[in-house]
Amino acid sequence: MLLNPKTETFHHLDEKSRRIMLETIRFFENKGKARIKHDDHERVWYQDFLDFQASQQIFARLMTPPEYGQDDARHDSYRNCFFNEILGFYGLPYWYTWQVTMLGLGPIWNSQNTAIKKETGELLRKGGIFAFGLSEKAHGADLIASEMTLRSDGRGGYLARGSKYYIGNANKAALVSTFGKIQETGEYVFFAVKSDHPNYECIKNTVNSQNFVAEYRLNDYPVTEADILSRGRAAWDASLSTIAYCKYNLGWASIGICTHAFYEAINHAANRVLFNHAVTDFPHIRAFFVDAYARLVAMRLFALRASDYMRVASAQDKRYLLYNPMVKMKVTMQGEEVINLIWDIIAARGFEKDTFFEMAARDIRALPKLEGTAQVNMVLIIKFMQKFLLESEEYAPVARQDQQKNDDFLFDQGATSKGQNKIFFHDFNTAYRSVDLPNIRVFREQIEVLKRLLTDGAPDRTQNRDLDFMLIVGELFTLVAYGQLIIENALLQKVDHDLLNTIFDFMVRDFSRYALQLYSKTSSSAIQQEIALAMIRKPVVDTAQFERVWKTHVHALKDTYEMNP
């Protein structure tokens, strides 16, 4: 159920894709943990990794649409899942340069500028990386308040003036997709600039890490029509649609980080003796491990299933607009939960400078906060709640989407910010009725009470505007969609019932925890308090099942993976 770089063959991928994954693993294992840790501590720019990916044309093959690439180039979000996971497994900085390259490419592949697309394909083949110039120091990602401007140069072109802040790769990017406005008209615009141009000023690295997250300024940078990627509504939509599919990557970074940390923790605990007992003999340690493992497997099941909905997306089927921000928000927050549980097991060892965990404990915190905070993504998710829970429609069943194809629709999404409350979903009950397990039955009871909240105790106008209140309602709703896709993929992956029922043990507990928070809100009404208390349930206790999961799934991972020194 978890990636093991020493044994994984990627048999589910085509031969060329397998080679990408295996060569990437070989690069990191040959580099070794000591060198990775040294580079992290000394904040060494990861030129060795960039040189490696350039030699294999990995970014070019994984992020170029076929018409602008060579060999097996395509943007295939199924195979990208596994590359995301590998990079997260070995270190967030390596994942980050990949992530911001994809962001930078989004406005280019979304544009109608064929010439710059061809140029981009060639730059990728040469190993180039890219950057996404959206946020500003004073305004963050508030596009309306953007101060980057293009003013007429009087000769049919423009001069760009302004600065961008917190822009990854902007020190070395072959092209930086930059968002701004036409000064004379206020029209939104995306345009491409080169980081080695004399009018491009890279001011500083804003973070203390291997990554270069730049503040850059354009000082009357000359822009021609050939550099324009999109204008007006198309520029606005390009920013949102790019983030819509790129934010999906964050969940996989969390999965990779947690997986490596889990191996390190089980090896340490199972081989450490205290008071004449292995640490893993203590009941609370086993409980922490089983909970962490169940949450990590659930993260992976959900994220992989979400890719299926991303790949079948069309103008008529935009269900991925719920599941994508959930991968970004829910999966990354679950990653924090997993690391917290593991840290309670390994305790002081989590601070040791030679462990992977020392990086994991720091880096796992970043992912819920990138590409929009967890709260911002929850606001998007809440828009789908009514239709999802109460107004389903018929859809054809979605099979596993592991075909070798380019995900064309992701670059032709149109407006992703309009009409979200009109998107319908298939009946979530179909998944929940497909498996009859004790904790799923309890969870279904909790869902029915939640539906009553939306009818008998629906939030009033004031509560709907109270984000603090609605975030808790959103957490309850999110669990329903989370469990649905976990079940769907558990059936596809043939997950055994012991493990699936254990996953819903923590799902029931989490639902009860959020219900209690809803009850405790100062603004909750009497009927809402009554409904919230009715949601609180206890998972079905099954000690024999717990022991089977511990022995078969968790303790069995002892000494199965350790990174090359």
Two tokens at 255?
């999965």
* Contact present, 446 and 538 (Cβ < 8 Å): no
In this chain, the answer to whether the domains covering 15-130 and 247-390+426-556 adopt an identical fold is no
CATH dotted code for 131-232: 2.40.110.10
Tens of pLDDT, residue by residue over 159-206, are 999 999 999 999 999 999 999 999 999 999 999 999 999 999 999 999
3-state SS class at 475:
helix
Please check the confidence at residue 409 and state whether its pLDDT lies above 70.
yes
Of all residues in the chain, the percent with pLDDT exceeding 90 is 92
Please check the confidence at residue 347 and state whether its pLDDT lies above 60.
yes
* Contact present, 356 and 260 (Cβ < 8 Å): yes
Cα dihedral value 223, 225, 226, 229, nearest 10? 90
Q: Rounded CA gap, 183 and 168, in Å?
A: 26
* Contact present, 451 and 445 (Cβ < 8 Å): no
* Contact present, 331 and 371 (Cβ < 8 Å): no
Tens of pLDDT, residue by residue over 507-524, are 999 999 999 999 999 999
Query: For helices 15-31 and 33-41, what crossing angle results, to 10°?
Result: 70
DSSP one-letter string for 155-170: SS-EEEEEEEEEEETT
For residue 216, which of 197, 200, 194 has the smallest C-alpha distance?
200
The mean pLDDT value for 250-269 works out to: 98
Phi, psi of 181 (to 5 degrees): -135, 150
Spatial neighbors of 49 by CB under 8 A, at least 6 apart, are 27, 94, 97
Q: Rounded CA gap, 172 and 179, in Å?
A: 18
Tens of pLDDT, residue by residue over 88-101, are 999 999 999 999 99
The DSSP output letter for 154 is S
Phi, psi of 168 (to 5 degrees): -65, 145
Tens of pLDDT, residue by residue over 371-382, are 777 778 888 888
* Contact present, 499 and 549 (Cβ < 8 Å): yes
CATH dotted code for 15-130: 1.10.540
* Contact present, 164 and 134 (Cβ < 8 Å): yes
Tens of pLDDT, residue by residue over 348-369, are 999 999 999 999 999 999 999 8
For residue 133, which of 193, 93, 75, 185 has the smallest C-alpha distance?
193
H or E stretch including 150?
A: strand 149-152
DSSP one-letter string for 475-529: HHHHHHHHHHHHHHHHHHHT--HHHHHHHHHHHHHHHHHHHHHHHH-TT--HHHH
DSSP one-letter string for 177-240: EEEEEETTT--EEEEEE-TTSTTEEEEEE-SSSSS-EEEEEEEEEEE-GGGEEEEHHHHHHHHH
3-state SS class at 314:
strand
Q: What is the pTM of this model?
A: 0.96
For residue 400, which of 492, 310, 326 has the smallest C-alpha distance?
492
- Which pLDDT does position 239 carry in this prediction? 92
Q: Rounded CA gap, 358 and 352, in Å?
A: 6
**Up-side HSE of residue 293: CA atoms within 13 Å toward CB?**
28
Please check the confidence at residue 19 and state whether its pLDDT lies above 90.
yes
Domain over 247-390+426-556 is classified CATH 1.20.140.10? yes
3-state SS class at 399:
coil
Task: Indicate the pLDDT class of residue 414, thresholds 50, 70 and 90.
Answer: low
The mean pLDDT value for 388-407 works out to: 95
Q: Rounded CA gap, 516 and 539, in Å?
A: 16
- Which pLDDT does position 237 carry in this prediction? 92
Q: Rounded CA gap, 446 and 229, in Å?
A: 48
Tens of pLDDT, residue by residue over 28-41, are 999 999 999 999 99
**Residue spans per domain, the chain:** 15-130, 131-232, 247-390+426-556
Please check the confidence at residue 555 and state whether its pLDDT lies above 60.
yes
